[in-house]
């Protein structure tokens, strides 16, 4: 049976900004700028559609390998975007949260992220989760470190205990992971919480992703049968 519902948590791998720019003989950072516009459209549409959590993969733990110019361009963009968008999201009662390592970002970006989290922490609308310097493997490593530091014995280590030590333990697992640009892989996104996520791939490059594209992904999700290992009769 199709589940027929709106996913509570939609996660997006925003891929293809560089190719979008290169096709137009533009610098890659202009593709990232266009990507910010796409994200703004999608946040609004997801909110209107009744999605409760929207997570966006903006920078992976591996993306530091890119040229220093591209990394610097992205960091500048994050700082500006967060500052500008917090007020707009807050006006719609949205909450901003951040998933990723906090020890390698430029201080200005970290401060902007933390200020956005603090100023929206009591909002009860859409939860927008920005994944910056995020890696699924790193998230598990960080969880294990926290558990060891807490002094828990090996027998007490369970799936529930690990889940409780992930970056956002109170957020539901992603129901739907969307990846744009035709690549069909996770690239280290939500490895633990995405164990049973539905996957949706589209050839559209992220800067071209619009409201209709999100609607198509949501419609695809509504038609899926989720079994969670429980067999066909679930
Ligand atoms: C995704 O677009 C954004 C980031 C990874 C920061 P890319 O920059 O990966 O674009 P392509 O894949 O090179 O086209
Ligand atoms: C994944 O895209 C990371 C983000 C979208 C932030 P990449 O472009 O970095 O992934 P690969 O290199 O194609 O796997
Ligand atoms: Mg890419």
Residue 188: active-site member: no
Q: Is 63 in the pocket of ligand 1 (CB under 6 A)?
A: yes
pTM for the full model?
0.97
Q: Per-residue confidence of the chain (234 residues) as pLDDT tens digits?
A: 899 999 999 999 999 999 999 999 999 999 999 999 999 999 999 999 999 999 999 999 999 999 999 999 999 999 999 988 899 999 999 999 999 999 999 999 999 999 999 999 999 999 999 999 999 999 999 999 999 999 999 999 999 999 999 999 999 999 999 999 999 999 999 999 999 999 999 999 999 999 999 999 999 999 999 999 998 754
Neighbours of 37 (CB within 10 A): 12
Residue-level length of the chain: 234
Sheet-wide strand order for 95-99: 95-99, 127-134, 53-60, 9-13, 176-179, 198-201
Nearest CA-CA partner of 223 in 53, 54, 8, 5: 5
Query: H/E element holding 58?
Result: strand 53-60
* Architecture label for domain 9-222: 3-Layer(aba) Sandwich (3.40)
Q: Is 15 in the pocket of ligand 1 (CB under 6 A)?
A: yes
Neighbours of 107 (CB within 10 A): 7
Residue 3: active-site member: no
Q: Is 220 in the pocket of ligand 1 (CB under 6 A)?
A: no
From 16, 17, 19, 63, the mutation candidate for ligand 2 (largest count of ligand atoms within 8 A of CB) is: 63
Q: Is 181 in the pocket of ligand 1 (CB under 6 A)?
A: yes
Give the angle 121-217-4 at the CA atoms, nearest 5°. 90
**What are the residues whose beta carbon lies below 5 Å from ligand 3 (ion)?**
15
Integer angstrom CA distances of residue 42 from 54, 85, 111, 218: 9, 13, 25, 12
Nearest residue (CA) to ligand 2, atom 3:
60
- The structural domains of the chain, with segments of one domain joined by +, span 9-222
Q: Which of ligand 1's atoms lies nearest the C-alpha of 63?
A: 5
The set of residues, in sequence order, having a beta carbon less than 8 Å from that of 104 and lying 6+ positions away, is: 64, 133
Determine the Cα–Cα distance for residues 30 and 27; give it in Å rounded to an integer: 6
The active-site residue, picked from 15, 47, 133, 175, is 15
Q: Is 187 in the pocket of ligand 2 (CB under 6 A)?
A: yes
Nearest residue (CA) to ligand 1, atom 5:
59
Give the angle 215-193-16 at the CA atoms, nearest 5°. 50
Are the C-beta atoms of 160 and 185 separated by less than 8 Å? no
Determine the Cα–Cα distance for residues 142 and 165; give it in Å rounded to an integer: 8
């Amino acid at each position: 049976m199709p589940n027929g519902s709106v996913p509570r948590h939609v996660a997006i791998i925003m891929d293809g900004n560089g190719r979008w720019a290169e096709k137009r003989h533009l610098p890659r950072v202009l593709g990232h700028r266009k990507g910010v516009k796409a994200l703004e459209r999608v946040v609004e549409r997801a909110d209107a559609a009744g999605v409760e959590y929207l997570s966006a993969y903006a920078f992976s733990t591996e993306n530091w390998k890119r040229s220093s110019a591209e990394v610097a361009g992205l960091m500048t963009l994050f700082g500006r975007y967060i500052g500008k968008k917090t007020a707009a999201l807050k006006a719609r009662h949205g909450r901003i949260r951040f998933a990723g390592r906090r020890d390698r970002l430029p201080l200005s970006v970290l401060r902007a992220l933390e200020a956005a989290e603090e100023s929206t922490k009591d909002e009860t609308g859409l939860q927008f989760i920005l994944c910056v310097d995020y890696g699924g493997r790193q998230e598990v490593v960080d969880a294990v470190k926290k558990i060891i530091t807490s002094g828990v014995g090996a027998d007490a280590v369970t799936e529930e205990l690990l889940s409780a030590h992930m970056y956002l333990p109170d957020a539901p697992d992603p129901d739907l992971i969307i990846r744009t640009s035709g690549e069909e892989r996770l690239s280290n996104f939500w490895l633990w919480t995405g164990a049973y996520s539905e996957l949706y791939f589209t050839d559209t490059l992220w800067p071209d992703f619009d409201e209709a594209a999100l609607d198509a992904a949501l419609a695809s999700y509504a038609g899926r049968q989720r079994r969670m290992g429980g067999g066909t009769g679930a």
